Amino acid sequence: PEFKPAAMRRRLVASRDLLGAFRRSLQAEAGMQETRRLNLFSAVNDALRLALRADTSAVVFGEDVAFGGVFRCTTGLLEEFGDSRVFNTPLSEQGIAGFAIGYAAMGKTAIAEMQFADYIFPAFDQLVNEAAKYRYRSGGQFHCGGLTVRAPCGAVGHGALYHSQSPEAYFAHTPGLKIVMPRSPRRAKGLLLRAIRDPDPVIFLEPKALYRTAVEDVPTTDYELPLGEAEVLRPGTDVTLVGYGAQVKVLLEAAEVAEQKWGISCEAIDLQSILPWDREAVCRSVSKTGRLVISHEAPVTGGFAGEVAATVQSECFLSLEAPIQRVCGLDTPFPLAFEKHYLPNVAKVIDGIRAAVEF
């Protein structure tokens, strides 16, 4: 028979489409979702794109976001949505926050980016005295719940004192705000979409060390994950480990070593949301294990680990078998040359685990 390239291409396309439909039907029957392999910054980008498509009032803005941002989280958004919805701002974090609050107060969706979490402090007054109190001070008549502030946070290996901080505890003292810090691409996408659509202003902290190192299969669909719910990543019976963000990976590695070398069974929990935080999940775990180790990169004094420890001591006092351990950053400015000594690494977490178990 005569070879007809066009007909052959049509048959190949039809076969490919049929195979794709068959695969999707099998995934649906098995309760599976179609996924893509993404790192964390790509998952954030995917969430932003879906949010902009679904809500025509949504805008993304901040320093250098129009060309993709320092960490490439907004790559391609300007080209798809135009400069009226994705645009650069002056180098003024207070101005970024003020504009975001005003835009959200008009019933719109504001997605602001602080280039680094360290730079969020000039916007502190706007966020804690305006955004957080807007609904309360108006007796519920007005609000800026459409506000989300994204900020890359935490250690990155060379950021030193102005590009490495984790400011979550400063904002956790503020009723009216929600604070989220994801550990992985899948969680980042679902939590960010929920944060953007949440009825309260949300500060969404993204561990910059995970932007390219955290990679996993992420659903291609538009999905949301609830705020305020922790996730038990590893069941255990001897000690509870609690953390969030990039520190979760450290806790899981420490738990593996503790079990292999000393037979210590660790239950690892990712808080995911810092405000509100899932005290029920943590207390339920500690009531079972009798021991608790809390870890985060931010300095130990005034860190969020203190709030978790105080709550557990109050609600699980009769279940505790040992003093609560806090394994956190040091009470110094974030160092450059001595970053590895500052961070709460696997060895420090293991010391905390053994201190709790051997008490």
Read off the pLDDT of residues 189-205 as tens digits, 9 standing for 90 and up: 999 999 999 999 999 99
3-state helix, strand, coil in the chain (%, to 5): 45, 20, 35
Whether 120 shows a pLDDT value over 60: the answer reads yes
Nearest CA to 96 out of 68, 125, 73 is that of: 125
As a whole number of angstroms, the distance between CA 330 and CA 155 comes to 13
Q: How many residues are given for the chain?
A: 359
Residue 33: predicted pLDDT = 78
Mean pLDDT of 151-165: 93
Dihedral (CA of 237, 294, 153, 164) sign: negative
CA angle in degrees (0–180, nearest 5) for 241-245-248: 35
Q: What percent of the chain has pLDDT above 90?
A: 90
Kindly name the residue from 63, 113, 130, 163 that is annotated as catalytic: 163
pLDDT tens digits along 318-344: 999 999 999 999 999 999 999 999 999
What does the buried/exposed string (b/e) look like for 227-244 if buried means 16 or more CB atoms within 10 Å of the residue's CB?
Answer: bbebeebbebebbbbbbb
pLDDT tens digits along 75-86: 999 999 999 999
Confidence of residue 162 (pLDDT cuts 50, 70, 90): very high
Whether 6 shows a pLDDT value over 90: the answer reads no
**pTM attached to this predicted model:** 0.90
Mean pLDDT of 94-111: 98
Beta strands in 44-164 (DSSP E): 59-62, 86-88, 110-113, 147-153
Rounded to whole angstroms, what are the CA distances from 344 to 113, 215, 263?
27, 23, 22
As a whole number of angstroms, the distance between CA 310 and CA 292 comes to 12
Nearest CA to 92 out of 107, 74, 76, 114 is that of: 114
CB-based burial label for 55 (10 Å; 0-12, 13-18, 19+): middle
Q: Is 163 a catalytic residue?
A: yes
Whether 14 shows a pLDDT value over 90: the answer reads no
Mean pLDDT of 40-63: 98
Mean pLDDT of 113-117: 97
Residue 228: predicted pLDDT = 97
Dihedral (CA of 330, 336, 341, 344) sign: positive
Cβ(230)–Cβ(182) below 8 Å: no
- What's the distance, Cα to Cα, between the start and end of the chain in Å? 83
Q: Is 173 a catalytic residue?
A: no
